[in-house]
Amino acid sequence: MRSLPSSLLLLLTLLMTACSGLGGSRHSLPALMVKRLDWMDDVAEAKRAKGLPITDPKREAELLRSMMQRGDAAGLNYESVRLFFSGQMQAAKVRQEEWLHQHPAATTAQPPDLATTIRPALDEIGTQMIEQLAEETRHLHPIQAAALVTQARKRLMQAGYSEAVVKPAVKGLKDAMDIYFATWP
């Protein structure tokens, strides 16, 4: 995507923010990106309590495959879904590492359970992300996609996430939009 003047991006971002409640969606895609990352402190604590590593290539591959299948069922391009969720997963791992570094000792006596609490919540957010990604790609013009990426960066920064976390999350969204609009009529 070519760069747009910042004033045009700001105007488009404001328009998208004002319209984000339209179309029956429960949350905007940037809000869902924040919501998913908000769980990563609990994920890190639960993994620490069970002695699990942050990175689990087998689980990550299974999750990515599942998201791509859900995306395909929603009419999305496999590659755009793969790129989007790869970015979200990378951001999640960076956030978990940051949190563990900031909290070298356990912070709760009873961390949330990965299987019964955290993963079902993350699965629901993932489903909402697929729905919203499908909704966005059905209705967005390429210029609006650039504004969506800008809005995502802004929401993640406002939520207090570091540039190291924000960068892969936003890159995943931008790359997904680029793939989608490369085949746009």
Domain coverage including residue 128: 6-18+28-182
Residue 1 included in any domain: no
With a cut of 70, which residues of the chain have pLDDT below it? 1-26, 183-185
- What is the CATH classification number for the domain harbouring 83? 1.20.59.10
Residue 23 included in any domain: no
Residue 159 included in any domain: yes
Q: What is the pLDDT, as a whole number, of residue 19?
A: 45
Q: What is the pLDDT, as a whole number, of residue 33?
A: 98
Whole-number Å distance between alpha carbons of 84 and 109 = 35
Residue 102 included in any domain: yes
Q: What is the pLDDT, as a whole number, of residue 58?
A: 96
Q: How many domains does the chain have?
A: 1
Count CB-CB contacts under 10 A for residue 73.
10
Closest CA to 39 of 109, 111, 105: 111
